[in-house]
Amino acid sequence: MKGSFNKKESMQKAEKFIREAAGNGAEIISLPEMWNCPYSNDYFRKYAEKESGETVEFLSSIASDLGIYLIGGSIPEIDGEDVFNTSFSFDRKGNIIGKHRKVHLFDIDVKGGIRFMESDTLTAGHDMTVIDTEYCKIGVAICYDVRFPEWFRKMALSGAKVIILPAAFNLTTGPAHWDITMRARALDNQVYFAANSPARDEAGPYQAYGGSCIVDPWGRFISHADERECIIYGDVDIETVESVRQQLPLLKHRREELY
Ligand SMILES: NC(=O)CCC(=O)C(=O)O
């Protein structure tokens, strides 16, 4: 979905997409990074809400109404003086079962391209997020976190077989790194990997690359969006994870003592 300056409008749009996805049989649904706030340091604090705020309440009630797992993309969360880029996850009853505060802040300065310093306004989280479902464990991280393979290996070693990444790459790094990074994280951890981006909004303060995708544990795209608004779907087969891990036992062949 495209971002908007109007939070109510974003919530209405998110609800429409979530209901449509659930109506088509989706059991685990995820929104993109900062879906209810313009992606800009000028707006994070203004749009930030406490965990007890209206957006978390809204996501929880949709999850319980539809009986789905909902990975609530990410939103700016305020806690005391600090603002975090936070992803709340909900079970089928609307309970919060995961709260991931983006651990690696997006501070980059690419010559002739993008400069963005999330740390000007945001505070980094410290904890890894792996949630339990009746299907398998699911890891949740946010966008720039994906640049740090160790973080994802840690999730896989903690039992994650699916990893979900609300994200918003840009027009400098997106064309260069989006596809290959998502495939690499799926492949090196032998997990299903789903990355959800906002749609591109030429009029907005940040041009998201788009390209939401789902990659299987063999590193193949099973679904891939372009830069426009849409829902993508994928079937997750846990036996495929087991089978790939058995045939190509990467996780077992690690030589940790040498690293
Ligand atoms: N929102 C983000 O963390 C953007 C990360 C990004 O674009 C990258 O190249 O990494």
Summary mean pLDDT of the chain: 98
1 in a structural domain = no
**Ligand 1 pocket mutation, candidates 74, 105, 108, 122, criterion most atoms within 8 A of CB:** 108
> Structural domain tally of the chain?
1
Q: Which of 143, 161, 213, 227 is catalytic?
A: 143
Residue 259 lies in a domain: no
Q: Which amino acid is at 248?
A: L
Calculate ∠ Cα 240-130-174, nearest 5°: 75
User: Does 255 reside within a domain?
Assistant: no
* In-domain check, residue 240: yes
Token digits of residue 122: 């945001």
Instruction: List residues near ligand 1 (CB under 6 A).
Output: 33, 106, 143-144, 147, 168-170, 173, 177
In a domain, 148, yes or no: yes
CB count in 10 Å sphere of residue 178: 21
Tell me the CA–centroid distance for residue 157 and ligand 1, in Å.
24
Token pair of 225 as six digits: 């969006």
User: What is the average per-residue pLDDT within 75-98?
Assistant: 98
CATH number of the domain that 208 lies in?
3.60.110.10
Would you say residue 258 lies in a domain? no
Catalytic site residue 16? no
Three-class DSSP category at 159: coil
pTM value? 0.97
pLDDT in tens, 24-83: 999 999 999 999 999 999 999 999 999 999 999 999 999 999 999 999 999 999 999 999
Q: Domain containing 216: what range? A: 7-247
- Predicted-complex ipTM score: 0.99
Does any domain span residue 220? yes
